[in-house]
Chain A
C-alpha cells in the first residue's frame, strides 16, 4: 500500500442533496484515503452518480461539506477543482470526437503554458507538447491511433483515451464514473489493469454498478442504497454483509 494510508485526501461530511422534496443523497460521510482505490457502488438509483457529481462540483449540495486536503471546496467551481488536482471522468465516454487522439491529450496538456487565450499565436507553439502527449498515448496502448480522430475509436479505446487525457493533468485524485461500464470482458481486464497501474502514485475514487467488477481492484468499497451508506470496508468484509447481500440479491448483481 502507498505511504500515509491514514491520510484523508477527500472527505464528505453530512452530504445531502434534495431534488424538489426527493432526497437523492442523505447524510453521506465519506473518507477517501490518499493512495488508495476507493469504489462507490450500489444498485440503480442508489445515488452514486449524484454523490459523484457533488464531489466533482457538477452539482451543489443542499447541505453538507466537502473537504479536499483539509480545504473546504463545497462552493468551488468545477473548473477550479481540476486545477487543484481533482479531475473527473464521465459515464458516457468523454472524448473530443472531432479532434485527433493526439489533440485530445494535448488540450489537457496545453493549459499550463498559459497561452490558451492567445488566438493570435500559431498552433505550432503547441508542438513541444507532442513528446509528452505521445508518452501518455503509449501508456494506454493507443500509439497506432495517435493521428486518428477520437470518433473513429472503438468504445474501449475511447475509455483508454479518456484516462490518458485525465492523466495528462497529473491529478492527485482521479474520479472515474463507471470506467468499466458497457465494456466487453477483454476490455474490462485491460482497463482494470490500467486503473491499477495509474493508481500506483495517486488516489482513485470510482463509481461502479457491479460489486464483483471492483472486488479485486479496490482497497475500500462503499455501498450506497437509497442515498445512504449501507456498508463500507474491504471487499471481504462488504461482500459478507447480510444487508449488502440482500440489497444485491433483488437485482441479481452480486
Chain B
C-alpha cells in the first residue's frame, strides 16, 4: 500500500470534476445572456432576484444547517431602503443597492445575535418573530407608505453610465448582480470558512471540541446570508420600481424555504432551479383559473414525499451513483 506523495494533492470530492463545473457554468451563463431575446426580460429579472434570494437562504440552511423563517425581513426590508433612498433622496442605483446591503447586514447582525443562541425550531421561531416586527414597522412607519408601498421608484443610471430604463441594460445589470452574488456564495462554500461551516452543520459538538467557537461562525454566515438577501430585495425594488408589503410578509419567508427545498438544499444550483420553477408556475398559473397556492402546495408535498433531496439534489445523487 503506497501513500500518495505530498507533492500530488489528493483530489477532493467536488474539486475532482472542476473542469465539468466550469463547463456547466459557461453554458448556463451563455444561456442567461441569450435568454432576454427569447423570454420576457421582466420575467427573467424576477427569476434572477428570487434565485439570488434563495441562494442566500440556502447558504444558511444548506451549509450551516440553520433554518431561518424570517428572511423576508431582509429581502423586503432592503427593498424599502433602496426604493426610499433612490426615490426620495435621489441616490444613484448603485448606492441604493449598497444601502440595502448595509441595512440588511445590520438587521442580520441583530437577528443573528438574538437567534443563534437557540437551535432548531426555536431558532426558526425567533427569526419569524423578529421578521414579524420588521413587517409591523413596514406597515406603520411613514416612509413606507403602508398598504400602498413605495411606488414609481426611478431606475436611474448605474455608475452614471448604464441607463437602467432600457429593459436589456436593466436585465444585464441584474444578471451581473446575480452572478456576483452567486460567485460570493460559491467562494464562501469553498473556503476555509466554508469548511468549518460544513463541520458545524455536520456535527456541532464535535466542532466545539476541536476548538471552534461555533456561534461566531454561524453569526458570520447569518450576516452574509442576510446581506445577499438584501441585495436581492434591493434589486427587485429597482426592477419592479416598487417596494411593497408583499416582500416582507411571513409568506415570503415561507416561499424561499419552498424554492430551496424544491430545487435541493445544500446544492449550489438547487435554489436557482427552485426559484425558476416557482416563479414560472406563479406567472403561468396567474392567467388560468387554477388557485396558485394549492397547485404549488401539491407540488411541494409530492417533492418532499418522492424526492427529498430536491430536483438538483436527486440529479446529482443519480449521477454520483452512476459514477461509482
Contacts and interface: CB of A to CB of B under 8 A. Distances in A.
A146 B191 contact: no
B55 to A, nearest CB: 14
B172 interface: no
A58 B205 contact: yes
Given A82-B211, A130-B10, A143-B1, A119 B206 contact: no
Contact of B220 (A113, A117, A138): A117
B214 A90 contact: no
B195 A117 contact: no
B209 A96 contact: no
Contacts, number: 129
Contacts of B187: 119-120, 122
Nearest to B16: A147
B191 A90 contact: no
Contact of B191 (A100, A119, A169): A119
A223 to B, nearest CB: 26
A193 interface: no
B203 to A, nearest CB: 5
Interface in B264-313: none
Interface in B161-187: 184, 187
Given A77-B213, A119-B187, A147 B203 contact: no
Contact of A97 (B202, B208, B214, B224): B202
B13 A121 contact: no
B322 interface: no
Contacts of B9: 127, 130
A122 B191 contact: yes
Nearest to A87: B209
Interface in A90-114: 90, 94-100, 102-103, 106-108, 110-111, 113
A96 B211 contact: no
Contacts of B4: 134, 146
Contacts of A169: 210-211
Interface residues of B, number: 38
Given A138-B3, A144-B1, A118 B192 contact: yes
A110 B210 CA distance: 10
Contacts of A89: 209
Contacts of B213: 77, 79-80
A120 B12 contact: no
A122 B209 contact: no
Interface string A47-81: 00000000010100000000000000000011110
A103 B193 contact: no
A144 B2 CA distance: 9
Contacts of B10: 102, 130, 134, 146-147
A119 B3 CA distance: 31
A118 B191 contact: yes
Nearest to A135: B3
A216 B205 CA distance: 31
A106 B196 CA distance: 10
Nearest to A123: B190
A125 interface: yes
A225 to B, nearest CB: 27
Contacts of A87: 209-211
A126 interface: yes
A44 interface: no
Q: Which of A99, A123, A147 has the most CB of B within 10 A?
A: A123
Contacts of A99: 195, 198-199, 202
Contacts of A4: none
Nearest to B13: A100
Contacts of B216: 117
A117 B196 CA distance: 8
B138 to A, nearest CB: 30
Given A78-B209, A144-B1, A126 B13 contact: no
Interface in B1-54: 1, 3-4, 6, 9-13, 15
Contacts of A127: 9
A116 B192 contact: yes
Q: Which of B10, B196, B220, B224 has the most CB of A within 10 A?
A: B10
Contacts of A113: 192
A99 to B, nearest CB: 6
**Pairs of residues from A and B, 7 with the lowest C-beta to C-beta distance, nearest first:** A82-B211, A131-B6, A96-B202, A119-B193, A94-B206, A119-B188, A123-B190
Given A77-B213, A147-B10, A147-B12, 8 more contacts: A79-B213, A90-B206, A99-B198, A107-B195, A107-B199, A111-B211, A116-B196, A130-B9
16 contacts: A56-B209, A78-B208, A79-B208, A80-B211, A94-B205, A94-B206, A96-B202, A96-B206, A117-B216, A118-B192, A120-B191, A123-B194, A123-B195, A143-B1, A144-B1, A147-B10
Interface of B: 1, 3-4, 6, 9-13, 15, 184, 187-188, 190-196, 198-199, 202-203, 205-214, 216-217, 220, 224
